[in-house]
Amino acid sequence: MDLSSSTLCPQNLTKPYFISFHKQPHIRSHLQFQTPPKTLTLDPKFTITGGCKLSGHVPISGSKNSALSILAATLCCSGTSKLHGVPNLSDTRTMASILRSLGAEIEACNGEMWVNADGVGSVEPCPEDIGKIRGGFFVIGPLLARFGEAVVALPGGCDIGTRPVDLYIRGLRALGAIVELGDGKVRAQAANGRGLVGGRFKLDHPSVGATETLMMAACMADGVTVLSNVAKEPEVIDLARFLTGSGACVEGAGSDTLYIKGKNQLHGSECVVPPDRIEAGTFMLAAAITRSSISMSPVIPSHVACLIDKLLAAGCKITCAHDTLEVSAVPDDVGHNLQGFDVRTCPFPGFPTDLQPQTMVLLTTCDGSSIVEETVFENRMGHVRELQKLGARIRVCGSTAVICGKEKGSALLSSHVVAKDLRGGVSLVLAGLAAEGVTEISGIAHIDRGYENLDAKLRLLGADIKRLIPLASPL
Ligand code: UD1
């Protein structure tokens, strides 16, 4: 299917919504880091006619979470940083807006982004933008390291738990900052007007964001910093690679302990944002849920190793060649229905919490009953109610869910459901692909935060999914 030839069909007009194919004509669209037109701020919807088999190849975009932390790190650098493969998402656009609110200059085109933070003259980023995404809060580290001061509003992001910032605060204090929390803002200042100083800090929990924020702060602190019990996620390694390329001295990324020797100054550098492992995992699960066969690239197989193991155990066929991964769950290939499996989410290299809702959908289509235990976020079961509306038989007790497979009573049927957060929202899309009838999903702004052209990519694979955009009322 040639996406660029998709046109707006007048017969598809359904008031007060219209169906938009032309909004996303290319998989790699130009990055437009501007305020979207008013119509797009209204609540768009997806409608999905389930039952289509998927086939073909899908391109995987750059990692959202890596892009967000690397963008924050450009604040540490003098001169221009050039990033390739930045996904065009509302979250990356919000991050660009946060950097601009501080005085950084940004240009973006076709997945490339140039950031120059030489003109940064403020230490207080736009609080409204910080309130939209968790990653916005990460700028507290670079700002404090470079200017000795930062005032950052408490962050937003998906409503999946209390998501405190205590580890950030205690970690920054260990680097010599005076940090206070009040009026919804964190105010931090390097003690006695001097810069940060190297120190030792052990995280109670390997928080990804706290690890990244403290790593950025320590890169410009005076002396050596040792951070232990840190996150080992690939995104932490991506950030360390960017910082090292910019002149920082970071060792141990990917292990439990980071050793960082502070430098007075970092310089802009060039980097490629690695592929998004959660997007790849979502498409792998889409293939399994629809009993289809698709390939995708680029993928770093070790980043999705946990999911590969589970899908193999369920009965899928998976092949990897270089950076291309193929997943088949076609009955002719696998010969029987897929078998359910249990999942316990954990920090990397464990099963990613960001794939938990999508995996739950697959389990409703498998044989047997399965147990999903969420251990990273205390309130990440919000999608279950919506999946139940689609016919999923799931029982939740605290952070554990028991999922009945197909012959135990789950039967995905169409309904109108609402996306309440990013990954829970995309799980509804996957359920809609397998459900009988037409599923309508509202609240898809949550999904647009983290999936670049999701509907266009699914159409490329043969799915029947439409984006309905409300028409603005006449003034
Ligand atoms: C990042 C990812 C998110 C992913 C998560 C876990 C970004 C922008 N987001 O989120 O997609 O789901 O990692 O892989 O990179 N915690 C505290 N105190 C703190 C910090 C965290 O108690 O100061 C707790 C959180 O409430 C949560 C757990 O630690 O229960 C893990 O959170 P964390 O790893 O920090 O996730 P984020 O960095 O917010």
d(Cα 278, Cα 76) in Å, to the nearest integer? 27
Cα 241 to averaged position of ligand 1 atoms, centre (Å):
21
Mutation probe of ligand 1 site: the residue of 186, 208, 211, 447 with most atoms within 8 A of C-beta: 208
Ligand 1 atom at minimal distance to the Cα of residue 163: 26
Ligand 1 atom at minimal distance to the Cα of residue 169: 23
Ligand 1 atom at minimal distance to the Cα of residue 376: 30
Residue with CA at minimum distance from ligand 1 atom 32: 207
pTM: 0.92
Place of tokens 């706290």: 210
- Using alpha carbons only, give the angle 315, 453, 56 rounded to the nearest 5 degrees: 40
Residue with CA at minimum distance from ligand 1 atom 34: 207
d(Cα 448, Cα 377) in Å, to the nearest integer? 21
d(Cα 444, Cα 41) in Å, to the nearest integer? 11
Please give the pLDDT value at position 3.
Answer: 31
CA-wise closest residue to 318 among 363, 284, 279: 284
Please give the pLDDT value at position 163.
Answer: 83
Mutation probe of ligand 1 site: the residue of 163, 277, 380 with most atoms within 8 A of C-beta: 163
Other Cβ atoms within 10 Å of 184 Cβ, number: 10
d(Cα 282, Cα 268) in Å, to the nearest integer? 33
Please give the pLDDT value at position 194.
Answer: 78
Cα 380 to averaged position of ligand 1 atoms, centre (Å):
12
Mutation probe of ligand 1 site: the residue of 158, 181, 205 with most atoms within 8 A of C-beta: 205
By the 8 A CB rule, do 197 and 218 touch? Answer: no
Mean pLDDT of the 317-337 span: 92
Cα 163 to averaged position of ligand 1 atoms, centre (Å):
7
Ligand 1 atom at minimal distance to the Cα of residue 155: 39
Ligand 1 atom at minimal distance to the Cα of residue 161: 26
Q: Is the pLDDT of residue 441 over 60?
A: yes
Mean pLDDT of the 120-124 span: 96
Backbone angles phi, psi at 46, to 5 degrees: -105, 145
Place of tokens 């790849």: 280
Please give the pLDDT value at position 474.
Answer: 53
Q: Is the pLDDT of residue 473 over 90?
A: no
d(Cα 209, Cα 174) in Å, to the nearest integer? 17
Mean pLDDT of the 201-229 span: 98
Q: Is the pLDDT of residue 407 over 90?
A: no
d(Cα 62, Cα 233) in Å, to the nearest integer? 15
Please report which helix (H) or strand (E) contains residue 278, including its range. helix 277-289
Structure tokens at 53: 């088999």
3-state secondary structure of 383: helix
Mutation probe of ligand 1 site: the residue of 207, 374, 449 with most atoms within 8 A of C-beta: 207
Cα 410 to averaged position of ligand 1 atoms, centre (Å):
32
The DSSP call for residue 474 is P
Residue with CA at minimum distance from ligand 1 atom 22: 164
CA-wise closest residue to 177 among 212, 206, 220, 208: 220
Cα 207 to averaged position of ligand 1 atoms, centre (Å):
5
Cβ < 6 Å from ligand 1: which residues? 65, 68, 134-135, 161-168, 205, 207-210, 231, 235, 353-354, 376-377
Angle between helices 64-73 and 208-219 (to 10 degrees): 30
Cα 405 to averaged position of ligand 1 atoms, centre (Å):
30
Residue with CA at minimum distance from ligand 1 atom 17: 164
Residue with CA at minimum distance from ligand 1 atom 25: 163
pLDDT digits (tens, 9 = 90+) for 258-303: 999 999 999 999 999 999 999 999 999 999 999 999 999 999 999 9
Please give the pLDDT value at position 305.
Answer: 98
Structure tokens at 309: 């193991």
Cα 208 to averaged position of ligand 1 atoms, centre (Å):
6
Residue with CA at minimum distance from ligand 1 atom 35: 207
Tell me, yes or no, if 158 is annotated catalytic. yes
Please give the pLDDT value at position 107.
Answer: 96
Please give the pLDDT value at position 27.
Answer: 37
d(Cα 310, Cα 330) in Å, to the nearest integer? 17
CA 42 to chain centre: 22
3-state secondary structure of 251: strand
β-strand partners of 270 = 82
Residue with CA at minimum distance from ligand 1 atom 21: 207
Q: Which residues contact 455 (CB under 8 A, 6 or more apart)?
A: 24, 46, 465, 466, 467
pLDDT digits (tens, 9 = 90+) for 356-400: 999 999 999 999 999 999 999 998 999 999 999 999 999 999 999
Cα 134 to averaged position of ligand 1 atoms, centre (Å):
9
pLDDT digits (tens, 9 = 90+) for 16-75: 333 333 333 333 344 444 444 444 456 899 999 999 999 999 999 999 999 999 999 999
Residue with CA at minimum distance from ligand 1 atom 24: 163
Q: Catalytic residue among 52, 76, 126, 158, which?
A: 158
d(Cα 16, Cα 468) in Å, to the nearest integer? 9
d(Cα 57, Cα 286) in Å, to the nearest integer? 13
